[in-house]
Every structure is written in structure tokens, then in C-alpha cells.
Structure 1
Amino acid sequence: MKTIIQVLLTIAIIVLGYFCVESINKPVRFKKEYQQRSEKVIERLKDIRSAQVAFKAVNGRYTSSFDTLSTFIANDSLPMVKMEGSLTDSMIAAGMNELMALRKGIIRRDTSRISVMDSLFSQKPWMPDSIGIVPFTNNAKFEMGVGVIETASGVNVMVFEAKVHNNVYLNGLDRQEVININDKQRKMERYPGLKVGSLEEANNNAGNWE
């Protein structure tokens, strides 16, 4: 009987020790995974921002369609200006500026075109049609919209926004931890997720992590 009690006590101590260690390791694992996922999602949002800025430079507007954006990345190009020649110190001292040098042929500007993919995403391992896919999900897509807002000075500004809720890209992680993050961000009056740009204010396409 004494032996059985000792065995049961040993098992109870082992189980209790496991739960104590797990209570410490569980939030540590969550934090690590949360940071890894956030970094990848932020990287993708930065790619969306770069593509949108380039799209606007070529087309004069943003797009709310990831299909349009991926086609632009895969097939379109950006102008690249190459300048040959330069102003010498004596030319500058004589009052010559770049425009005057261009007219005199001292400086030349040649415009060529380079593909969007090579210009912006040559080091990226993903295909253009995956730019709208949220990492760590089963092909879930970012929410994206475009609009025009009036600034305090009365100027109309084109804006775009791309975002993903915490519940989407943190799916599969500890549910209570995700709920806690959402609650904390809501109390701070922040979007409970990651986003770039804004449809409510002209924020120069900033990300809410910046």
C-alpha cells in the first residue's frame, strides 16, 4: 500500500511539475510565433504598399483589386531615367543650373523602362499573384480598398488601405492570447490587426506598426 501511495505521489509531482513548466513555456512559445507571423505579414503589407505606389505612378490612381495589382507586377514596367554628364564647380559658380546644362547638351537624360518585378521584387521568392495572400493562412486574402479624402487644407487626396485582422493570421495559436491582444489594441483605439495606409486619413501610406 505504501509503495502505491509513493508511486501516485511521484506521478502527481511529475504532472504538477509539467503544468508549472508549461505555464511558463506556453506564453513564451506564443510570443515567438506571434512575432514570426507578424514580421512576415508586415513584409507582405510593405510589398503591397510598394506595388500600389508604383501602380499609382503609372496609372494615376490606386487599385482595390489584387488581380489588377498582380497583373501590373507581372507585366508592366516603370520609367527609369539615366543622367549622363554633370555640372562642374566652375559651371555652378558661373550660375549654370541643371536645366541650362540640359539645354546646352552638357547633361543628357535617357529614359528607359524596367519591369516592375525586376525593379521592386527581384529578390522576392513569391509569385506576383500571391501578393494578396496573407502568410500563415489557407489562402486568406488581405482586405483592400481605395478612396479619396479631403485634407484639412481642402485638398483631395487619393488613399488606399490593406489590412488583416489578428484572428486571421494568428489562427491556430492560443485563442485566449489572441483575444487578449485584440482587447488591448481596441482599448488603445487601434485596429486589432495589421494594416498599411488608411481610408480615413492621409497618413502617407504608413503602417500601423510604424
Structure 2
Amino acid sequence: MKTVINLVLAACAIGLVYICYGSIMGPINFDETKKAREKEIIARLIDIRKAQQEYRTLHQGAYTDNFDSLIDFVKTAKLPFIMKVGTLTDDQLNNGMTEKKAMAIINKAKRTNKWDEVEKEGLQNFRRDTMWVAVMDTIFAKGFNPDSLPYVPYGNGAKFELAIRKDTTKAGAPLNLFQAQVAYDVYLGDLNHQELVNLKDVQTKLGKYCGLRVGDIEQPNNGAGNWE
């Protein structure tokens, strides 16, 4: 009988140790896994932000809420890049010369093959040439796959929520905003349920979005992420 009691007590002790270990390591493991996953998700959100910012430059300041359009833009679009040679001197600037005027004089000389005015204004070594470079070669690392943009890492095929807002300010100026986001449930749903509930409860009480987000369609934030 004594042996049986000892075995029961030993089993209870082991159970208590396991429970204590779980209560300590559960939050730690959850937090470590959360950080590892969010590192990759944040990198993807930053890629979306880069693509949206460049998309905007070629679409009159507007963003897109369609991933297919964004992917096609990244694959095919080219951006202007101005190669600059030479600078205007203080004397030239004080005399009213601007880069626009300088290029007008130079372009006129190219058309007429008369370079007197170029020499008179001292613009022989001044050049501004526009080159067009592919978006893929400009803002993304070599080997980047544009087709991956919509998909949430660790999301089992889930896509980011993409939204835009076209509006005007009180002064009547155009207002274009975008946001891309993913909820905790999408990429943390397979982890400790109670830890996830606790995380969401804290965020909700703080009035924060329960997940990761870049940009904001409610108020301008210059495309910042909520982790920054």
C-alpha cells in the first residue's frame, strides 16, 4: 500500500513539474515563434510598401487594391532615372539659370546644331539624361519573386488584406492612402490558444490592430508599419 501511495505521489510531483514547466515555457515559446514568423511577414509587408510607392509614382499618386495589378506592375514597369553630370555654379544660379532652363538651351542646341548659347552660358559640361530602369532591378533584391507578394508567410495560403482610399483633404487636395494587413489569427492560429487570446486582449485594450499592418486608410502615416 505504501508503495502505491509513493508511486501516486511521484506521479503527482511529475505532473506538477510538467504543469509548472509548461506555464513558464508556454509564453516563452509562443513569443519566440511569434517573433520569428513576424520577421518574415514584416519583410513581405515592406516589399508591398515598396511596390505601392513606386506604383504611385507612375499612376498620378494613386495606389492599387488589386494584387494582380501590383504584381504586373513590378514585373513590367520601368521607372525614370535621371543621370546628372555637372552642376550649376553660384554665378549661374544668381543670374537666374535653372536646371530646366539649362536643359532647354542644350536641347535647342542639339536640334539646331548651334552651340553658341551653350558656350556663352558655360553649359558645355552640363547634362541631365533620363534613363528608364525596370522596377525589378531597382527596388528589389536579385531573385525576388513578385508572385509571392500577396501571400502571408506561415499563413497556409492566406493573402494579405489590401485596401486603398481615394479622397480629398479639407483644402481640396487629392488624398491617396493604402494599407496591407494580416490578423494574428492567420499566422499564429496554430500556436497556444490561450497565449493568442491574451495577446489579442492586450492589443484590443490598447486600441491597436490585432495583427501586422503597413499603411493606414484612416489617416495618413507615410506608409509606416505598426511595428515601427
Work out whether the TM-score is over 0.5: yes
Q: Choose which of 176, 179, 192 in structure 1 pairs with 2:194.
A: 176
Cα deviation for residue 63 of structure 1 reads: 0.9
Quote the Cα distance in structure 2 between the aligned partners of 1:199 and 1:174.
32
Quote the Cα distance in structure 2 between the aligned partners of 1:119 and 1:33.
32
Q: 1:101 to 1:150 in 2, by over 3 A?
A: closer
Aligned to 1:21: 21
Aligned to 2:65: 64
Aligned to 1:11: 11
3-state SS in 1 of match to 2:57? helix
**Pairing 1:194–2:212 present:** yes
Letter of the 2:168 partner, please give it: E
Quote the Cα distance in structure 2 between the aligned partners of 1:167 and 1:18.
27
Q: Which is greater in Rg? A: 2
Cα deviation for residue 20 of structure 1 reads: 1.3
Aligned to 1:119: 138
Quote the Cα distance in structure 1 between the aligned partners of 2:207 and 2:169.
21
**Partners of 1:148 and 1:156 within 8 A in 2:** yes
Quote the Cα distance in structure 2 between the aligned partners of 1:141 and 1:52.
16
Quote the Cα distance in structure 1 between the aligned partners of 2:144 and 2:198.
32
Letter of the 2:63 partner, please give it: Y
Q: Choose which of 152, 163, 166 in structure 2 pairs with 1:134.
A: 152
Q: 1:126 to 1:84 in 2, by over 3 A?
A: closer
Aligned to 1:92: 90
Aligned to 1:30: 30
Q: Choose which of 158, 161, 168 in structure 1 pairs with 2:179.
A: 161
Cα deviation for residue 152 of structure 1 reads: 4.5
How well do the aligned residues superpose, as a CA RMSD in angstroms? 2.1
Quote the Cα distance in structure 1 between the aligned partners of 2:194 and 2:177.
34
Identity of aligned residues (%): 38
Gap runs ≥5 in structure 1: none
Quote the Cα distance in structure 2 between the aligned partners of 1:176 and 1:153.
48
Aligned to 1:110: 129
Mean Cα deviation higher: 173-182 or 133-142: 173-182
3-state SS in 2 of match to 1:59? coil
**Partners of 1:55 and 1:69 within 8 A in 2:** yes
Letter of the 2:76 partner, please give it: N
Gap runs ≥5 in structure 2: 106-122
Aligned to 2:117: none
Query: When the two structures are superposed, what TM-score results if normalisation uses the length of structure 1?
Result: 0.88
Q: CA offsets, 1:94-144, max 9 Å, x none?
A: 636652665424321111122111111124x54111101011111100111
Quote the Cα distance in structure 2 between the aligned partners of 1:65 and 1:157.
19
Quote the Cα distance in structure 1 between the aligned partners of 2:86 and 2:174.
39
Query: When the two structures are superposed, what TM-score results if normalisation uses the length of structure 2?
Result: 0.81
Cα deviation for residue 172 of structure 1 reads: 0.6
Aligned to 2:169: 151
Cα deviation for residue 72 of structure 1 reads: 1.1
Q: CA offsets, 1:68-91, max 9 Å, x none?
A: 11111112221111111235xxx3
